[in-house]
Homo-oligomer: A and B are copies of this chain.
Amino acid sequence: MKNLIFVKLGGSLITDKSKPYTARLDVIKRLCKEIHEAREEKNFALLVGHGGGGFPHISAEKYQTHKGVINERSWEGFAKVQDDAAKLNRIIVSALIEAGENAVSIQPSASCIAKNGRIIEWYTRPIEIMLSEGIIPVPYGDVCLDKKKGCCIISTEEIFRFLAKKLKPERIIMAGKVDGVLDQKGNVVKKITKRNFKIIKKSLFSSDGLADVTGGMLHKVEKSLETGVKIEIINGLKPNLLKMALIGKRNLGTIIN
């Protein structure tokens, strides 16, 4: 789709992972305002996905939902993790509406099926129509029914991997709480390609120094390379960076291409 951008708001960015169920409302509000300002300045279609951070990750850890149906409490975990993920989604969608955007939730667990942790089918017709009408569809890291494991967790990166193939965005912006992909010295890696990834791979940190059930920064970069779309990883904590990235400014973080 021409002029289509995917934006990911990272779970570590929009929640305080050290406290359960704590959304960073000030950050969310500012990011939504930046999105709205960018859309006022420039004409583009937008899909916003977000991670779960301190909302579903605690229950997901507890029930080990990413491993599938492993015991008699796994479906209980499935229900609780989806409830937690959906709670944060309400906060994000409401904030986007509050900022002046027509944003609508897309519940992945109601509209797609995975196999071994990878989405294999998705009823994307509603997303396609919404995008063509200027609405921002807002999917999120969620649980998913899995043909092999019973259930699984699908990260925003996995969602983008699948949707990018189908919807063909021009680029993807991933806003986290670090300046980009960092090497072991803490410096931003300016550009990652399939060619230099093997070397860089060894020295990647996770998005907040801690791996989570969706796999941290390594997972993010691997899924990103798989999309075949140009991806920019930027620091969403720095005011205006998301807006600048949306209107087309370059060199704001790490580019994966």
Residues of A whose CB lies within 8 Å of any CB of B are 75-76, 78-80, 82-83, 86-87, 90, 93-94, 97, 101-107, 109-113, 121, 123, 125-127, 129-130, 133-135, 145, 150
Contact = CB atoms under 8 A, between A and B. Distances in A.
Contact of A87 (B76, B80, B90, B106): B90
Given A110-B110, A126-B113, A76 B93 contact: no
A228 B94 CA distance: 39
Interface of A is mostly: helix
Contacts of A134: 75
A86 B105 contact: yes
Interface centre among A75, A83, A104, A123 (most CB of B within 10 A): A104
B86 A102 contact: no
Q: How many copies does the complex hold?
A: 2
A30 B126 CA distance: 35
Contacts of A83: 90, 93-94, 97, 104-105
Contact of A105 (B82, B106, B135): B82
A176 B240 CA distance: 50
A75 B123 contact: no
Nearest to A123: B123
Given A90-B87, A104-B82, A109 B126 contact: yes
B126 A111 contact: yes
Nearest to A100: B76
- Which 8 pairs show the lowest CB-CB distances between chains A and B? A123-B123, A107-B107, A79-B102, A111-B111, A106-B110, A75-B102, A110-B111, A129-B145
Contact of A102 (B78, B104, B113, B129): B78
